[in-house]
């Protein structure tokens, strides 16, 4: 055990090296560890995981090797393997010193694509030796990611391994880099109007990355005669005596040019995959109009972007670093190309799969950025252009676009040994990984789709609502109506790069100027006139309180659903809804349910926001409302009244209330699986419950937890949410006369879409 929780004080200076050393050292050395995926808590587990039980999967695999994908982690396990001969731009620092980079790649595989990795650093420099070591690893892995092996050895190593192994072998520095470079070049050309067959390219570097990039650009249309390659010895020309190999020789031409300084004259693209600082600013003056400067050496680029920008304000500039725009780095590719390849059991990663990845990445940069993705970009939401040629590595859409495209290409070219049968289900799976809400929300979205139900948003100027409105329109989940000033809405839509426009795509209710204003005031006064509101106040309120405006719209039938609460106080919004919309027929009070979606599962909590101290009758009523709501998710509710008392271990007014509520629910719905009062662990664990109450009418795990009061429900929900990093969907308001929901200010735009879909589904089912 080497965990050191205390450690020294964090570095106080901004020195990146010092901070990086601290990061790598504490609280335990390194960046990765192994995480078991099965329980190992008792003798029985041990007998299954290890001997004698483990013999069963061993025998099965011996009889049918394809079952390794079923009984072991092989199909999701990749080797990140290096001999340390070209570690970033640090050069030949050896395998041991390369380990932090390989651990780093392992983390990226896991974080971005849920792929498990063993980082493997080998002491092997000769091609034969490397090939033998790697080939011998085939039984362990679903794929091999070669990393930081220098040219020219890397080319032959990869060629020979690809021929020998029946799993993907992919040299990331070559192909991962080439895929991103090709996507960035394609998008840059779309902006500067140049054609790939006409552009002149000069490379600094003729190693693994540079040559692979040039090769891919050639296969996409660039002309070999328009490419000049340079390395540490200057221009690669026909007949030169300095280093030359068959891979470089492709680009060696008859030329009098000898230096980068000469070769860069008139170039449209500078491709730097060599070493820090080799491109002097004055050389940029010689490049063609609107050049593309790709200074991709790590950690220090061939030229720093600010120096390049000072000389060539018209240039599009990319680096390999995270601290500048346009990060052209293979991290945008390798997690996802392997995700797609592993998921279809690809036996290799071929040209078609690489080009599918290029297409997907290039197209993604041109799409609008979702709010989830916008978080990846910090304060400013990017819009496709010179400063945003390719997506950020944190863009959650990368996996959704690249992995299926790669898997399809694998299948089309006959290298998929386990073709994906249902791409819709596959996308759901990827979505679940990305958004976690994906699967449980699916039935709701299905009910909501194409319904045409109109959802009015009281906070129509809010960025989250604007983003949600675009998603709703694209996914046909209801028709948004926004309360807000049209000019503000338009300018914000433009700022966030959203395509929808008021009037054309959705309706706006302008609080400052709407022809229905007088009617709305009359309607509102009719609802609240005898509740202490005079006509003057009503006029002011209908100008200024957007929840009231939206409530009146719904009450008059100008909209079907109300969503509010992104700003302000929950209780005040609820008061407006009570006054204008009221409770549903046959219901006495509203309540609020929260849905938490976490790695450990999905749970509904009741009542987390509305009723402070509900009576037994109130509880029974809200449970019945909750059950209807939960069934919309395609889930059969299983309720537990939770308490400090476990099946009568204590007698308090609260426990009596819970028992009465249980009796009332049972009387109304004898088939409802519900029981109580019980401890929280009894609710979630059948074995624990059966020990104290063998005849409990609840089987399995409760999914609806009903609390005796607001404090207990809200506190528990928030603690669970924070401890399990669960996603909160809701609050889902139960019992309003028409679907209406009060969100909380921390909601995300995805949260807005989720609640809108829930409300639309409710409106559809209510008819």
Residue numbers in the known binding site are: 87-94, 147-148, 173, 298
Q: Is 374:362 a contact under the CB 8 Å cutoff?
A: no
The region, left, alpha or beta by phi > 0 then psi within -120 to 50, assigned to residue 680 is: alpha
- With a CB cutoff of 8 Å and minimum separation 6, the contacts of 681 are 688
Kindly state whether residue 392 participates in binding ligand NDP, applying the rule CB under 6 A: no
How are beta strands 234-235 and 269-272 bridged, if at all?
Answer: unpaired
| Distance from C-alpha of 514 to C-alpha of 525, rounded to nearest angstrom | 17
For position 148 contacting ligand CC(=O)C(=O)O by CB under 6 A, the verdict is yes
The minimum distance between CB 491 and ligand CC(=O)C(=O)O, in angstroms, equals 39
**Position 205 contacts ligand NDP (CB under 6 A):** yes
What residues form DSSP beta bridges with 169? 144
Q: Which residue has the tokens 């624990």?
A: 688
What's 105's DSSP letter?
H
The residue behind tokens 């929840």 is 547
Instruction: Closer to ligand CC(=O)C(=O)O by CB, 101 or 489: give it.
Output: 101
Give yes or no for residue 350 binding ligand CC(=O)C(=O)O (CB under 6 A): no
CA distances in angstroms from 733 to 581, 606, 607, listed in the order given: 13, 10, 9
Q: Decide: is 274 part of the binding site for ligand NDP (CB under 6 A).
A: yes
Q: Looking at beta carbons only, is 333 or 755 nearer to ligand CC(=O)C(=O)O?
A: 333
Q: Which does 150 bind (CB under 5 to 8 A by kind): Mg ion, ligand NDP, ligand CC(=O)C(=O)O, none?
A: ligand NDP
Contact status, residue 698 vs residue 638, Cβ threshold 8 Å? yes
Q: Does 618 bind ligand CC(=O)C(=O)O (CB under 6 A)?
A: no
At closest approach, how far in Å is the CB of 361 from Mg ion? 18
Q: Which two tokens stand for residue 188?
A: 């840059």
Single out the segment in contact with ligand NDP by CB under 6 A; choices: 271-279, 463-471, 607-615, 625-633.
Answer: 271-279
Q: Which of residues 326, 330, 545, 645 is near ligand NDP by CB under 6 A?
A: 330
Q: Which two tokens stand for residue 221?
A: 């249309």
By Cβ distance, which residue is nearest to ligand CC(=O)C(=O)O? 298
- Identify whether the C-beta of residue 18 lies closer than 8 Å to the C-beta of residue 11: yes
Backbone angles phi, psi at 705, to 5 degrees: -105, 120
Site for ligand NDP, residues 118 to 157, rule: CB under 6 A: 150-151
Is the bond into 152 cis (omega within 30 degrees of 0)? yes
Token digits for 56? Answer: 């069963």
- Tell me: does residue 249 bind ligand NDP (CB under 6 A): no
Give the residue, chosen from 173, 558, 629, 673, that forms a contact with ligand NDP under the rule CB under 6 A. Answer: 173
Number of other CB atoms surrounding residue 35 within 10 Å: 7
Cα–Cα distances in Å, from 545 out to 143, 463, 564?
A: 58, 19, 11
**356 touches which of ligand NDP, Mg ion, ligand CC(=O)C(=O)O, none (CB within 5 to 8 A by kind)?**
none
- Asked whether position 296 contacts ligand NDP by CB under 6 A, the answer is yes
Residue 89 Cβ vs ligand CC(=O)C(=O)O, minimum distance, rounded to whole Å: 7
Cβ proximity to Mg ion: between 173 and 461 the closer is 173
- Please identify every residue annotated as catalytic: 105
Comparing C-alpha atoms, which of 216, 252, 212 is closest to residue 234?
A: 252
Residue from 168, 291, 320, 480 that binds ligand NDP (CB under 6 A)?
Answer: 320
Is residue 231 a contact residue for ligand NDP (CB under 6 A)? yes
Looking at the Cβ atoms of 208 and 665, the one nearer to Mg ion is 208
Q: Between residues 294 and 581, which has the closer beta carbon with respect to ligand CC(=O)C(=O)O?
A: 294
Dihedral angle over CA of 84, 119, 175, 328, nearest 10: -90
Pull the structure tokens for residue 642: 């939770």
**Residue 326 touching ligand CC(=O)C(=O)O (CB under 6 A):** no
Query: Which is nearer to ligand CC(=O)C(=O)O, 148 or 677 (by Cβ)?
Result: 148
Piece of 328-336, 362-370, 501-509, 719-727 that binds ligand NDP (CB under 6 A): 328-336
For 319, the 3-state DSSP assignment is: strand
Q: Which of 37, 165, 168 is nearest to 110 (CA)?
A: 37
Least distance CB 414 / ligand NDP (angstroms): 30
In this structure, are residues 645 and 655 in contact, taking their beta carbons and an 8 Å threshold? yes
CB neighbour burial string for 731-761, b if at least 16 within 10 angstroms, e if fewer: bbbbbbbbbbbbbeeebbbbbbbbbbbbbbb
Q: Please report the sign of the dihedral spanned by the C-alpha atoms of residue 411, residue 416, residue 417, residue 419.
A: negative
Q: How far apart are CA 266 and CA 254, in angstroms?
A: 18
Query: Which residue from 187, 215, 329, 348 is in contact with ligand CC(=O)C(=O)O, where contact means CB under 6 A?
Result: 329
Q: What is the x/- site pattern for ligand CC(=O)C(=O)O, positions 94-133, by CB under 6 A? A: ----------------------------------------
Distance from the Cα of residue 559 to its chain's centroid = 32
Cβ neighbours of residue 253 closer than 8 Å, sequence gap 6 or more: 225, 228, 237, 238
Binding partner selected for residue 274 from Mg ion, ligand CC(=O)C(=O)O, ligand NDP, none, CB under the kind-specific 5 to 8 Å limit: ligand NDP
Between 204 and 330, CB nearer to ligand CC(=O)C(=O)O? 330
Among 597, 596, 612, 629, residue whose Cα is nearest residue 741:
629
148 binds Mg ion (CB under 5 A): yes
- Residue 119 interacts with Mg ion (CB under 5 A)? no
Query: How many Cβ atoms from other residues are within 10 Å of residue 190's Cβ?
Result: 14
Does position 173 interact with ligand CC(=O)C(=O)O (CB under 6 A)? The reply is yes
Among 298, 470, 547, 682, interactor with ligand CC(=O)C(=O)O by CB under 6 A = 298
- Give the pair of three-digit tokens for residue 579: 């006054």
Nearest-approach distance from CB 14 to ligand CC(=O)C(=O)O, in angstroms? 23
Residues in touch with ligand CC(=O)C(=O)O (CB under 6 A): 88, 148, 172-173, 298, 320, 329-330
Residues in touch with Mg ion (CB under 5 A): 148, 173
Residues in touch with ligand NDP (CB under 6 A): 86, 88-89, 150-151, 173, 177, 204-210, 231-233, 243, 273-275, 278, 296-298, 320, 328-330
């Amino acid at each position: 055990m080497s965990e050191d929780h205390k450690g020294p004080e964090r570095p106080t200076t901004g020195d990146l090296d010092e901070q990086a050393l601290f990061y790598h050292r504490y609280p335990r050395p390194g960046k990765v560890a192994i995480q078991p995926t099965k329980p190992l808590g008792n003798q029985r587990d041990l007998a299954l995981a290890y001997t004698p039980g483990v013999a069963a999967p061993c025998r099965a695999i011996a009889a049918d090797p394809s079952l390794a994908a079923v009984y072991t982690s092989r199909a999701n396990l990749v080797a990140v393997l290096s001999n340390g001969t070209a570690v970033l731009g640090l050069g030949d620092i050896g395998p041991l010193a390369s380990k932090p980079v390989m651990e780093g790649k392992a983390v990226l595989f896991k974080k971005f694509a849920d792929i498990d990795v063993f980082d493997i650093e080998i002491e092997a420099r000769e091609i034969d030796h490397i090939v033998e070591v790697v080939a011998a690893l085939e039984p362990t892995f679903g794929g091999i990611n070669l990393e930081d092996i220098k040219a020219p050895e890397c080319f032959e190593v990869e060629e020979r391994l690809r021929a020998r192994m029946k799993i993907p072998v992919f040299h990331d520095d070559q192909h991962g880099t080439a895929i991103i470079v090709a996507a960035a070049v394609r998008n840059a050309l779309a902006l500067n109007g140049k054609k790939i067959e006409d552009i002149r390219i000069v490379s600094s570097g003729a190693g693994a990355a540079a040559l692979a990039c040039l090769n891919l650009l050639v296969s996409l249309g660039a002309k070999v005669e328009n490419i000049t390659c340079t390395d540490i010895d200057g221009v690669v020309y026909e007949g030169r005596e300095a280093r030359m190999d068959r891979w470089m020789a492709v680009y060696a031409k008859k030329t009098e040019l000898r230096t980068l300084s000469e070769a860069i004259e008139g170039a449209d693209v500078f491709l730097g995959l060599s070493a820090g600082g080799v491109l002097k600013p004055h050389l940029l003056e010689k490049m063609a109009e609107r050049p593309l400067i790709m200074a991709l050496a790590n950690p220090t680029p061939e030229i720093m972007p600010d120096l390049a920008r000072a000389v060539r304000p018209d240039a599009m500039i990319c680096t390999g670093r995270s601290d500048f725009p346009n990060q052209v780095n293979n991290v945008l590719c390798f997690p996802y190309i392997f995700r797609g390849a592993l998921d279809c059991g690809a036996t290799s990663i071929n040209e078609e799969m690489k080009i599918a990845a290029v297409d997907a990445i290039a197209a993604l940069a041109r799409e609008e950025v979702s709010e989830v993705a916008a978080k990846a970009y910090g304060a400013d939401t990017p819009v496709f252009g010179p400063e945003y040629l390719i997506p950020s590595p944190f863009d959650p859409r990368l996996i959704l676009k690249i992995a299926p495209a790669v898997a399809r290409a694998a299948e089309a070219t006959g290298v998929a040994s386990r073709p994906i049968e249902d791409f819709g289900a596959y996308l759901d799976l990827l979505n679940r990984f990305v958004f976690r809400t994906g699967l449980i929300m699916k039935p709701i979205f299905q009910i909501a789709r194409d319904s045409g139900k109109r959802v009015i948003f009281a906070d129509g100027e809010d960025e989250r609502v604007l983003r949600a409105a675009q998603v709703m329109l694209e996914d046909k989940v209801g028709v948004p109506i926004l309360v807000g000033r049209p000019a503000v809405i338009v300018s914000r839509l433009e700022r966030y790069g959203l395509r929808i426009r008021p009037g054309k795509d959705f309706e706006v209710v302008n609080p400052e100027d709407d022809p229905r204003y007088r009617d709305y005031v009359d309607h509102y006064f009719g609802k609240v006139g005898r509740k202490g509101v005079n006509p003057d106040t009503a006029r002011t309120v209908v100008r200024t309180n957007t929840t009231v405006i939206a409530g009146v719209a719904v009450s008059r039938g100008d909209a079907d659903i109300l969503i509010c609460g992104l700003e302000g106080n929950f209780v005040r919004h609820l008061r407006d809804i009570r006054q204008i919309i009221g409770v549903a027929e046959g219901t006495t009070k509203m309540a609020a349910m929260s849905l938490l979606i976490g790695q450990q599962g999905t749970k509904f909590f009741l009542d987390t926001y509305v009723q402070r101290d509900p009576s037994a009758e109130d509880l029974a009523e809200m449970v019945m409302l909750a059950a209807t709501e939960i069934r919309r998710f395609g889930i059969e509710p299983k309720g537990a009244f939770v308490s400090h008392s476990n099946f009568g271990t204590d007698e308090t007014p609260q426990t009596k209330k819970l028992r009465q509520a249980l009796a009332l629910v049972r009387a109304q719905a004898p088939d409802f699986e519900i029981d109580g009062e019980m401890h929280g662990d009894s609710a979630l664990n059948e074995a624990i419950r059966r020990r104290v109450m063998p005849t409990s009418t609840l089987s399995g795990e409760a999914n609806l937890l009903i609390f005796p009061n607001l404090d207990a429900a809200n506190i528990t929900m928030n603690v669970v949410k924070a401890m399990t990093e669960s996603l909160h969907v809701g609050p889902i308001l139960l019992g309003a006369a028409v679907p209406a929901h009060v969100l909380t200010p921390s909601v995300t735009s995805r949260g807005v879409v989720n609640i809108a879909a829930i409300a639309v589904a409710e409106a559809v089912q209510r008819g």
